């Protein structure tokens, strides 16, 4: 589930089943035209489990989160073929979605099926089911809600159980896996290899205080500079660090339309990685620098820092800042 990656390009809203970043701002419930128990799967793979859930529970509203672009594409095609209309997909980090976009006491269930176990000792911190995640999930689950884990990895299974216990607010039930979890891609693969499948249901016994939201949405930053872009022939990689993240100017490309420059900027902050385009182009009153809408950027502090990072680069080429504003 964990790993970097931007979101998908937008689809027409009337038929949209793949969420854009800004769609998440109002919370997943705002995306459905009807009420229903909200159920989340983190790391949905090719989507066959989510689609089967949709068939088994037409009364539910379902959101799937997955980091792999190929998996999101496969799941989208599957749900389109099955004509599922109460399921939404989001490409991104599960921790970020639960922390920043799910409201307290709003989830009926969280499914985690065959998560990446990150087996090496130096990868433990990347595992999803840490004590902090269990505490966060306990705040987001409604009364009677639960978190279901199914995995083939015995060590990860015991790690998750220990994490739930360490959180101090979950009780567990170790049970046979539900039939639908055994029909997922990986479940069938491991069963063919006669590997055991482990399953547990974690139910919160208390509701902790809500976690601090770390993805803060902000207005866009712009800048106006004096100078000449045409003299710039090469741009070196530039790193701008800020509280909570990093903005890295990777490359620059010259625009054929207006002699401007397009900068590729990678921003990493709080379980969120965005690949952004920042443009600098000449206008009558100077060189304007601003974030471009390509890739549906989420308006976090990182977007503002990306504009600042490009401005820093332009200053090294002799341009001077006249004005910055939000």
Q: Which of 44, 48, 40, 43 is nearest to 24 (CA)?
A: 40
Distance CA(34)–CA(13), nearest Å, equals: 16
Residues near 302 by beta carbon (within 8 Å), at least 6 away in sequence: 242, 245, 247, 267, 268, 269, 272, 274
- E-strand stretches of the chain: 38-42, 61-66, 87-91, 107-113, 141-151, 170-174, 198-204, 222-226, 238-242, 245-254, 261-269, 272-283, 286-291, 320-325
116 counts as catalytic: yes
Residue 289, φ and ψ in degrees, nearest 5 = -125, 125
Count other Cβ atoms within 10 Å, centred on residue 210: 13
CA distances from 177 to 183, 231, 268 (A): 10, 64, 36
Q: How far is 325 from 165, CA to CA, in rounded Å?
A: 49
Contact 88, 63 (CB under 8 A): yes
Q: State the catalytic residue, choosing from 85, 116, 296, 312.
A: 116
In this structure, the number of other CB atoms found within 10 A of the CB of residue 219 comes to: 10
Q: Does residue 241 contact residue 292 with C-beta atoms inside 8 Å?
A: no
Residue 143 DSSP code: E
Residues in the chain, how many? 326
Q: What is the dihedral of CA 221, 227, 229, 231, to 10 degrees?
A: -150
| Number of other CB atoms surrounding residue 60 within 10 Å | 16
Q: Point out the residues that are catalytic.
A: 116
């Amino acid at each position: 589930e964990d790993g970097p990656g931007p979101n998908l390009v937008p689809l027409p809203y009337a038929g949209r089943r793949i969420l854009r970043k800004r769609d998440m701002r109002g919370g997943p419930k705002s995306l459905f035209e009807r009420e229903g128990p909200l159920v989340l799967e983190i790391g949905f793979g090719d989507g066959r489990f989510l689609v089967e859930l949709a068939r088994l529970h037409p009364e539910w509203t379902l959101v799937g989160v997955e980091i792999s672009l190929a998996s999101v594409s496969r799941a989208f095609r599957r749900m389109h073929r099955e004509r599922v209309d109460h399921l939404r997909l989001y490409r991104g980090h599960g921790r970020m979605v639960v922390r920043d976009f799910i409201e307290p006491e709003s989830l009926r269930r969280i499914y985690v099926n065959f998560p990446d176990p990150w087996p090496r000792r130096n990868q433990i911190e990347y595992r999803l089911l840490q004590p902090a995640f269990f505490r966060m999930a306990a705040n987001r689950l409604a009364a009677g809600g639960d978190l279901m884990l199914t995995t083939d990895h015995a060590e990860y299974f015991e790690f998750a159980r220990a994490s739930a216990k360490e959180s101090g607010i979950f009780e567990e039930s170790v049970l046979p896996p539900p039939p639908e979890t055994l029909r997922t891609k990986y479940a069938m693969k491991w069963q063919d290899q006669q590997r055991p499948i482990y399953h547990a249901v974690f139910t919160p016994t208390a509701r902790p205080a809500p976690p601090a939201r770390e993805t803060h949405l902000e207005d866009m930053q712009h800048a106006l500079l004096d100078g000449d872009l045409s003299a710039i022939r090469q741009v070196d990689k530039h790193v701008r660090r800020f509280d909570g993240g990093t903005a890295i100017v990777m490359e620059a490309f010259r625009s054929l339309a207006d002699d401007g420059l397009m900068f590729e900027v990678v921003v990493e902050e709080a379980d969120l990685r965005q690949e952004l385009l920042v443009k600098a182009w000449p206008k009558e009153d100077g060189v304007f620098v601003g974030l471009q809408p390509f890739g549906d950027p989420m308006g976090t502090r990182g977007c503002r820092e990306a504009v600042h990072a490009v401005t820093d680069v332009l200053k090294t080429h002799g341009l001077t800042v006249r004005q910055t504003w939000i």
